[in-house]
Amino acid sequence: MTVEQTKLADCIIIHDTVFGDNRGYFFESFNKKTFFDKTGLDVNFIQDNQSKSSKGVLRGLHFQHGAYAQAKLVRVLEGKVLDVAVDLRRESPTFKQYITVELSAESRTQFFVPRGFAHGFAVLSETATFFYKCDNLYHKAAEGGVIYNDPELNIDWQLSADELLISEKDQVLPKLSEMIESLQF
């Protein structure tokens, strides 16, 4: 496992060591001790989630705040997505900045998104199976989000507006400027 630091503090891209031969491949997708040794982050993942989506589906930008904030370790089991993390930590030097990472089953790359970030992804392949670990349980009253097309963020989702498939709930999320004062992580 190799770790790549990004421009956003504590957002990390993880490249797993894959062992392959004519039978297929094997890799260890998560080991708590190795993760700590390589990143210095002591994260206790307690919930796994998985979704399958078709091309153009955009999920996000979501977060949980307060005592229910979540760190996530995300990866793609099938297909390809554009994954996005937005720093919502007001005290951070990268506050309101974001990073995009292309994740695919082929690359087997993982992306660690710490607490205090909004997170989302758009499916770039015909279908994608998205998998992520969380270090805190979901709590409906603590959910929040930022609208995917916030002009202040100006995220390039690598798909045209007419290709995007977005839930009704995600289409009415507020702009960052409309909810920034209420953020608590």
* Terminal C-alpha separation, the chain: 29
Which alpha helices (DSSP H) does the chain contain, by range?
Answer: 32-39, 168-171, 176-179
Cβ proximity of 16 and 1 under 8 Å: yes
**Which candidate, 41, 81, 85, places its Cα nearest to that of 62?**
85
d(CA 148, CA 165): 12
**Which candidate, 170, 113, 124, places its Cα nearest to that of 147?**
170
CA quadruple 173, 179, 182, 185: dihedral sign? positive
d(CA 54, CA 128): 6
Cβ proximity of 166 and 121 under 8 Å: no
State the Cα angle at 144 between 141 and 146, rounded to 5°: 165
For the annotated catalytic residues, the residue numbers are 62, 132
